[in-house]
Every structure is written in structure tokens, then in C-alpha cells.
Amino acid sequence: MEFYQQTVKNTLGILLTDERKGLNNNQVEANRTKYGANIIPQKKEDSYIKIFLKNFSEPIVIVLLGAALLSFISYYYTHFVEKSMGHGSESLYEAIAILLLIFINAVLGFWQEISARKSLNALKEMNSRYTNVLRDGIWSKIRSQDLVVGDIIKSEVGDFIEADVRWIETSELQVIETHLTGEPDSINKDTEEITTTVDIGDRSNMGYSGSIVANGQGIAIIVGTGEHTELGHIAELIQSVEGKKTPLQNTINKLTKTLMMISLGVVLVSLVFGIIKSGSISIDSMTSTLSTSIALAVASIPDALPAVLSIVLTIGATKMARKNGLIKSLSSVETLGATSYICSDKTGTLTKNEMTVVKYYDNGIEYDVSGLGYSPEGEIKDVNNDVLMNSEFLIGSVLCNDSTIESVNGKYKTFGNPTEIALNVLGQKAGMFKNELLKSREIIRTLPFTSNRKMMSVIVKKQDEYFIYTKGAPEILIEHGKSFLLKNSLDSSLHAKDSFIKVVDYYASKALRTLAVGYRKLSAEEAINANIQDLECNLIISGIAGIIDPPREEVRTSVEILKKSNIKVVMITGDHAKTAQAIATDLGIFSEKNDGVFKGSDIEKLTDDQLFEKVLTTSVYARVSPEHKQRVVKQLQRHGEIVAMTGDGVNDAPALRAADIGIAMGITGSEITKDSADLILLDDKFTTIEKSVEIGRTIFSNIKNFMRHELTTNIAEVLSLFLGLIFFTTQIKEVGVSTPTLTALMILWVNMVSDAIPSFSLGYDVAESNIMEEKPRDPKASILANYTWSRVLIRGIVMGFAVYFAFVWAAQYGMNSNQAQTVAFLTLVFGQLWHVFDARCSKTIYRRNPFGNKKLVLAVMFAGISSILVTVIPFFNTVMGTERLSFIVYTMVVFLPALPTLILSGVKEIFDIKIW
């Protein structure tokens, strides 16, 4: 017989589980060994070899291979056909160097992919789902992958069911199992055994891995885990952390492709010029010109860009995770940097979510409660120092409550919603325990809390009588109330209602979270069959709780930082307007200058166009429902804002999806909300959002700086060669007209070593001190917007001319071809090494400490020294065509190339020219 055909009792018996205690540790281990872990095997990743070989299929490699082949042909021709011994060896070295370059490129690409894969896997690991489980008699939340067969679990609205289960207790439970049955609607679940054989879709007492709880709640025993679940049988892996290409990556890939086409054009043009200049069409001149042109063209492509980009984005994601911001796709790193509005909820994000009832109003009397936190030690006193025991308010607070508090080794271990824990603690302070109350009562139905109703109820049977106990937002409960419990009598007058409203207003103005409790007697028929609306009405309101939930201290600073960076912070909460205003004022989110607090009921009255007019001047929304959040997001987006929106409840998922960055709470958020989010706050803290925005901005600016530097080098290289081809038309002393400004291998050296290594460390740069003072970036604008293009062009052109002039100067000075090229080479190398410090500044080189990025300083030193060494060491002299220079010339080529950078920055500094 299958589990759905068994009774609850039999199922528990078969799996040896105690319904009230769950499994013990030994049983957990034994069951894990026996039935396996709750993990569905992952799709096999590409092997290392495959990843390595993939790098050889890039178009750029094919072009490089072509260049190497041409160099070989040239070598072969001169060496074997013309039999010119000694000549043509440069072509051989060139071919070998190009092959080496291809290999180094492949190794770099391989390393990049492996490290990105590792980081993404680590992020995936952190993005685990959690499930409420009962073990050794204590409820706690554990990673779903640690569940075992036989575990007792509890699922609530918004939870994913993480294994195959048999329900043993349900309350208004509805589940969506579209992934297995194709049925889009939610299906009612109960605990009755089924005596016939039915399909999965009809097994109403079973829950299946991957389903979502759409309503109510249930307790179940796990009957299948991991690959033994129905999902496991059909599992196509559902990847939660995506390695998809981001918009920026796509743009840059396109840019690289365009540059590659331009480079091919360069090949043809330079080939034509080369032939015209050499005056003859021999195979020798053809092959050497062609191979130099191709090597030049290929070397001038910023081919490291895509690799660096994905590394920098992945590193950014890892950095964020270390600061407790877990992003789900790399594109969010980019969007975060452009965020202009942060809509945050209050409870738990801006406040500590450590709730304690400090005041309450019961039967018309006000009480003060001492003792903070979850320890049930504290006193309750009214003005006459009297304590009221056994009141309907306290009974409702304790019974209509799913939280638990256990004392473990003298420490209090709590489980459940902090608002309910606070009421539970209050009950214990008054000597009222749920277990004790349940000795003479039974909870027969639970109507769970939803942020739309803002209420929760339980239906209780006491002997033959039935009662409903409801708690929830006071305004709503009071609206559903028929009478008020004042001094042991029921009062339906407006005066009685007023006295409750006054208490609520008073508590809220003191920044207390308020909650009302009510009850009424029900008939047996109502208790069992009536629907929620018919039950939660005509209540007797028995009291009001005032709960302190202190603001998080660090939020004030974060709000200030965000204000400076022109990011607006908006509080959007389900709580009372006055409580929201008090906390928002305290945190600097609300000021008298703002429009007043906007309530959900106000939003309801407005059309979209009217709301559009309001959203830019409103900073606090209270008593909102998830639908209101979605409307606010949409209207802000109509203003062109990039909106980040937080949420924790199940109904928040659509608003999170609508936002540019949906943010879910890692600790208190429902699993479905986390699933729809782009960013998960592992610590639920608002400050984490601010930190993530800062990292997002830094990454973007580092990528921009990296591109600035790379493109400047490319322009300088191409231009200096072109100037040589066009203008170097008469022999100058020892340097002939066919001598290019730089040899192909010199260019390869610049691109692979002296330029690549320093600019790579730009990707890891720290944020500029003013990064959080700038306006949010326009996400539609190009990465080279805001005059980055003009700065690249101006610097690249100046540097290109400088290299060419250095070459001509060397020729006129009487140097030979190799020496003149060496002068040009070192001018280019050092010109770029000085420029790299400028490329990392949004303003000028004089505004940023050049030693701020230690990696960069080391990289520059390495690049500088090794570039001089290749002009001294004989082996490199032969391979690269370099030659040793005199000390004075070395001094000149190291320091004079600083002038373009220093002068250009100086002019910008003095005249503040934007395009400069």
C-alpha cells in the first residue's frame, strides 16, 4: 500500500516517528543513511578539459592561428625557398609567440571560468531553502537539504514543500502542484486516507516536493526525499543562481565584435599601404606585411574585456554575499548600481524585529509590562499595581498564536513570528501557558495571518462551546467589532469605540506596534463550516497590545549616505500610520517637508495618474497591502526611477517581480518571496541594501575604468602604427621606410603583459571616496557615456602621436631601426603605466591617492621592470626586435611619457573641461 492509502497513525508507525516529538538525532542519521539525503543530483557540469578546449573555438583564436600560420609560411619561404640563412627567424619567433599567446589566453579563459563557477556554486549553496521541522520535541528552521524521511515538518503560506509528504494535520490548506499535475489552481489538502488507487493529482492527503503552499498551513511527515521524490524522478535542474549574460556583458561582447571587424579593416588597409610602401609584390613582403598587420589588428582588440567583465561581476557578487547581500543573477549587480529609489518595509528591516509588549489595554485598564526580550521574566502592573489574570485578551493572545518558546540550557529558544512571540512572552509573564489552556480546550481550526486581511484567528472548542479568537491590526479589528469589553461588561457605544481608538493612537504615537485582540461565541455549525469573512466579524474587542520594536541604530547612517547619493528611501509598511511616521521620523526618512503619511486606503481612492503625481513627494506609506506596493513601484518606474523594493510576505512576490530589484528577507521572508527576489538580505537588514548599492556602483565604475584604459591603449597602438605607415615615407638616417613604429611582438607584449596586468587590477579597485555622492547612473546610457568616450579618444590620440614622435625622434637621433622601435615601445608602455592611474579617477589624477590600490601599484612596477628587461635580455632582443638603450634614453622613456597624463589632467583640473 502507498502512503496515501495509509491512515496517519499507520504512516507514523511505519516510519517510527512520534507526532509530538519528531525524530531524535540518532533516527535522523539512521534515516539519512537508509533513505538518502534530500538532494536532487545536479546536472553534470562541463569537464575541465571541455572548458579548456572551449577557449580555442573563439573567433579571435582562429584569427590568431591564421596569423601564426602566415608567420610560419613567411619563415618557411625565406629559410627554405630563398635559403636565406639567419633571415626570417623573426617570423618563426613571431609564430611561436602568437601560439604562446593563444595558450596563455586559453589558460586565462579557463581560470576565469573555473573561478566564476566556484563563486556561483558558493552563492548557490548560500541560497538554500529552509523548512520548519520538529526534532527532539523542538521546532526549528533547518536547510531543506538536511531533511530526512520520517521528519515532521510544518508548512505555511508561501513555503515550498521540499520533500514528498503525507499530511497529518491541516488547516485551510491549499497547495499549488502545477509542476507535477499541470493544474494551475490551488488544491485543497486534508489528512483522510484514500482507500482506492488514484493519480498524483487526486492524492489529497499528500504533498509533493516543489509545490507551493497557497493558503492555510499544515503539518506533515516526510515520506520521500531527494531523488526518490516525484520531482526527483522528473527533475530538470531548477538553477536558482543564474550565470546568464548581463545586459552589460552583452553590450561589451557586441562592442568587442565591432572592434574586431574594425581591426580586420585595419589589416586590409595596412596591407595595401605596406605593399605600396615596399614597392613590390613578392611573397616575402606579402607574408611579412600580412602577418604583422594581422598580429597588430588582433592585438588591438580589447579581447580581455569579456573575461574581465564576468570575473569582476562574479567577484562583486561574492563581495556582496560576504556583506550578507545574496544576488541571484549577475545582472542585478549592474542594476543595483543604478538604483534610484529604495522602498523598504519597516518591521525587521528598519527595525530590529525584537518585539516586546511593553503596554497593553485590557478590559478598560492600562498595564505596563517590564522586562525586554524573550525571557518571560518581568512584571505586569496597572496604576494600582494590580495584575489581571485569565482575561479574554490574554487568552486570545496566547491561543491565537503559533509561536513557541522553549528553555534550552537556561536560554530561550523561540520559534515563529516575532509579533506572536512577544504576545506569547506576555502570556508567560502573566502566568498563562498555551499548553495549560489546551488541557481544557482544543483548537479545531486556524485561519492564518495574511497581510491582506491583517488578522489571524483560531477556532476553539471548550467542552461543548465554540469560540473564535482573533488578533490583528486594531483599526481593522475595531471595524469588525460589535462591542467592546470594558470593566467586565460589553459596551457597543461610540464612546467605548473611541476609548479603544484613543489607546491605539496613543501607543502608535509612541512608535509602538499595535495589535488588537477580540473573540466571540460561535455555533457548532459556524465553527466547523463558516468561511473566514463570516467568522471574523461581530467580535467583542477585548484589548490592545503596544509592542516595542526598536529601530536599528545603523539605519540612520545608511539613510543619510543614500540621501547624499541621491537615492530616495521610502518606508512602505503594513503597520499603523502613526507608528510608521514615528519610526520614519526617528530614522530620517520622514520630515515635515514631506507630504503626510499615505495610507493604503488613500492609495485605493486614487487612479494610477493621480498616484503618479503623488509618488515623488511621499516617503511613508502605511497600512498598505501587497497590491499597493506593486502600484507604487509602477508609478515610480513611470517617472524613470530604478526601484528596489523589499518584501517578506507571500503576497509580496508580484511587487518584487515588478521592481527593478526585488529584495527578500533571508530570515523572515517566505520561500516563494525569496524565489522571486533578485537580492536576498541574509541578515534582513536595511544597511545591507545600502552596502550592496555601493558595491554595485563600485563594480560598474571599475569596469568603466578598465575599459577606459584598455581602449586608450588600443587607440594609441593603432594610431602610432598608422602614422608610421602614412607619414614615414623617407628614410631617416638608419631607419628605412618599411620599418613599422612597433613590431607585432611588441604590441603583443603590451597587450598581454604591460597593459593587461595593471588594467586587470583596476577591476579589483576599491570605491572612490565620492562614489556614494554621485547621482545614480542612467541604466540606459552607454558605459562610455558622460564624456568617457571623449577622454578615451583624447588620451589615446595624444599617446599615439607621442609614440610616433618618439620613434621619429629616435631615428633622427641616429638610432637604428630596432632601437627606434624600442624607444617607441617603451614610450607606449610607460605612457600607459602613467595613464592607468588617471583611468581610475572620475575627476583627475590629482584627486586620488595613487597608492590606494596596492595590487595596481605592484602590477605597474612589475610591468615597468619586465618591459625594460625585455629590451636588455638578448633572447628577447632577438624575439621581439628590441635593443638595449643608453641610460639617459631609458630615463627619458620612463619619465617623459608621464607628461601627457599630467598635462591633460592639469588642464582638466584648472579649466574643469568636461570632455577632457
Active site residues: 345
- Are 119 and 311 contacting, i.e. CB atoms less than 8 angstroms apart? no
What are the C-alpha distances in Å from 477 to residues 3, 397, 473?
A: 42, 14, 6
Residue 634 carries which side chain, given as an amino acid letter? K
Contact 572, 344 (CB under 8 A): yes
The distance of closest approach from Cβ of residue 386 to ligand ATP in the complex, given in angstroms and rounded to an integer, is 27
Residue 346 sits in the site that holds ligand ATP (CB under 6 A): yes
- Give the residue with the Cβ less far from ligand ATP, 346 or 840: 346
Q: Is 88 in the site for ligand ATP (CB under 6 A)?
A: no
Largest pairwise CA distance in the chain: 118
Could you say which of 74, 170, 204, 451 contacts ligand ATP (CB under 6 A)? 451
Q: What is the distance between the alpha carbons of residues 607 and 199, in angstroms, rounded to a whole number?
A: 47
Tell me which of 90, 151, 345, 392 binds ligand ATP, using CB under 6 A: 345
Tell me: does residue 417 bind ligand ATP (CB under 6 A): yes
Q: In 409-538, at which residue ranges do the beta strands (DSSP E only) sit?
A: 411-415, 441-450, 455-462, 465-472, 481-486, 489-491, 513-522
Closest CB to ligand ATP among 230 and 536? Answer: 536
Q: Which is nearer to ligand ATP, 449 or 804 (CB)?
A: 449
Distance in angstroms (rounded) separating the CA atoms of residues 505 and 521: 28
Beta bridge partners, 176, equal 212
429 binds ligand ATP (CB under 6 A): no
Which range in 24-32, 553-561, 567-575, 859-867 contacts ligand ATP by CB under 6 A?
A: 567-575
Pair 205, 193: CB distance under 8 Å: yes
Q: How far is the CB of 663 from ligand ATP (least distance, A)?
A: 12
Could you say whether residue 455 binds ligand ATP (CB under 6 A)?
Answer: yes
Residue 549 touching ligand ATP (CB under 6 A): no
How many Cα atoms within 13 Å fall on the side-chain side of residue 706? 30
Element (H, E) at 406: strand 404-408
* Residue placing its CB nearer to ligand ATP in the complex, 302 or 518: 518
CB 449 within 8 A of CB 471: no
Shortest CB 673 distance to ligand ATP, Å: 12
Rounded to a whole number of angstroms, the minimum distance from the CB of residue 212 to ligand ATP is 19
Distance, in Å, from the CA atom of 3 to the CA atom of 165, rounded to the nearest integer, reads: 9
740 near ligand ATP, judged by CB under 6 A: no
Smaller CB separation from ligand ATP, 644 or 863 = 644
Shortest distance in whole angstroms from residue 365 CB to ligand ATP: 21
Tell me how far, at minimum, the Cβ of 499 lies from ligand ATP, in Å.
Answer: 19
Q: Which range touches ligand ATP (CB under 6 A), out of 142-150, 314-322, 339-347, 715-723?
A: 339-347
Q: Considering the rule CB under 6 A, would residue 154 count as an interface residue with ligand ATP?
A: no
Nearer to ligand ATP, 570 or 732 (CB): 570
If binding is defined by CB under 6 A, does position 652 make contact with ligand ATP?
A: no
The least CB distance from residue 907 to ligand ATP, in Å, is 52
* Residue 500 found at the interface with ligand ATP (CB under 6 A): no
Question: Is residue 542 close enough to count as binding ligand ATP by CB under 6 A?
Answer: no
When the beta carbons of 477 and 824 are compared against ligand ATP, the nearer one is 477
**347 in contact with ligand ATP (CB under 6 A):** yes
List the one residue from 145, 419, 698, 817 that touches ligand ATP (CB under 6 A). Answer: 419
Dihedral, CA atoms, 175, 176, 182, 187, nearest 10 degrees? 40
Query: Residue 155: what residue type?
Result: S
- In the chain, count of helices (H) and strands (E)? 34, 27
* Binding range to ligand ATP, per CB under 6 A, among 150-158, 387-395, 468-476, 748-756: 468-476
Per rule CB under 6 A, is residue 158 in the interface with ligand ATP? no
Single-letter residue type at 860: V
Q: How far is the CB of 406 from ligand ATP (least distance, A)?
A: 19
With H, G, I as helix, E, B as strand and everything else as coil, classify residue 717: helix
- Could you give the angle at the alpha carbon of 523 between the alpha carbons of 521 and 526, nearest 5°? 105
Q: Quick one: which segment of 448-456, 486-494, 707-715, 869-877 binds ligand ATP (CB under 6 A)?
A: 448-456
Per-residue interface string for the shown chain with ligand ATP, residues 358-397, x marking contact by CB under 6 A: ----------------------------------------
Under rule CB under 6 A, residue 456 binds ligand ATP: yes
Which class for 258: exposed (0-12), middle (13-18), buried (19 or more C-beta within 10 A)?
exposed
Does 473 engage in binding with ligand ATP (CB under 6 A)? yes
Considering only the stretches 147-155, 342-350, 654-662, 754-762, report the one whose residues sit in contact with ligand ATP under the rule CB under 6 A.
342-350
Residue number with CB closer to ligand ATP (40 or 447): 447
Query: Which C-beta is closer to ligand ATP: that of 246 or that of 353?
Result: 353
Length of the chain: 916
Query: Looking at beta carbons only, is 299 or 477 nearer to ligand ATP?
Result: 477
Total site size for ligand ATP, rule CB under 6 A: 19
Contacts of 390 by beta carbon, 8 Å cutoff, 6+ apart: 432
Q: Cell 553534470: give the residue.
A: 44
Of 491, 392, 488, the C-alpha closest to 432 is 392
Phi, psi (deg, nearest 5) at residue 668: -95, -10
What's the order of all strands across the beta sheet hosting 679-681? Answer: 325-327, 679-681, 661-665, 643-647, 341-344, 568-572, 620-622, 598-599
DSSP 254-311: HHHHHHHHHHHHHHHHHHHHHHHHH----HHHHHHHHHHHHHHHHHTS-TTHHHHHHH
User: 473 vs 711, which CB is nearer to ligand ATP?
Assistant: 473
Q: Evaluate whether 762 touches 836 at the Cβ level (below 8 Å).
A: yes
Q: Is 600 in the site for ligand ATP (CB under 6 A)?
A: no
Cell 544576488, located at residue: 327
The whole-angstrom separation of Cα 13 and Cα 538 is 44
**420 binds ligand ATP per the rule CB under 6 A:** yes
Closest approach, Cβ 571 to ligand ATP, in A, equals: 7
**109, 158, 224, 472: which one binds ligand ATP (CB under 6 A):** 472
Q: Which helix (H) or strand (E) holds 359?
A: strand 356-362
**Half-sphere exposure in the Cβ direction for 902 (13 Å, CA):** 7
Convert residues 507-526 into a mask of x (bound to ligand ATP by CB under 6 A) and - (unbound).
------x-x-----------
Work out whether 454 is an interface residue with ligand ATP (CB under 6 A).
Answer: yes
Least distance (Å) between residue 456 CB and ligand ATP? 4
Residues 573-592 that bind ligand ATP (CB under 6 A): 573-575
413-421, 478-486, 637-645, 713-721 -> range binding ligand ATP (CB under 6 A): 413-421
Over the window 741 to 780, marking each residue x when it contacts ligand ATP by CB under 6 A and - when it does not, the resulting string is ----------------------------------------
Minimum distance from residue 472 beta carbon to ligand ATP (Å): 4
Which CA distances in Å does 366 have to 389, 499, 575? Answer: 14, 11, 22
Residue 269, CA atoms < 13 Å, CB-side half-sphere:
15
Nearer to ligand ATP, 59 or 596 (CB): 596
Looking at the Cβ atoms of 232 and 472, the one nearer to ligand ATP is: 472
Please enumerate in sequence order all residues whose Cβ is within 8 A of that of 642, keeping only pairs 6 or more positions apart, or say none: 335, 338, 339, 340, 341, 660, 661, 776, 779
Q: How far is the CB of 162 from ligand ATP (least distance, A)?
A: 23
Q: Is the separation of the CB atoms in 378 and 387 below 8 Å?
A: no
Asked if residue 900 lies in contact with residue 715, where contact means CB atoms within 8 angstroms, the answer is: no
552 contacts ligand ATP (rule: CB under 6 A) = no
Q: Given the C-alpha cell 622601435, which residue does it identify?
A: 821
Interface residues with ligand ATP (CB under 6 A) are 345-347, 417, 419-420, 449, 451, 454-456, 471-473, 513, 515, 573-575
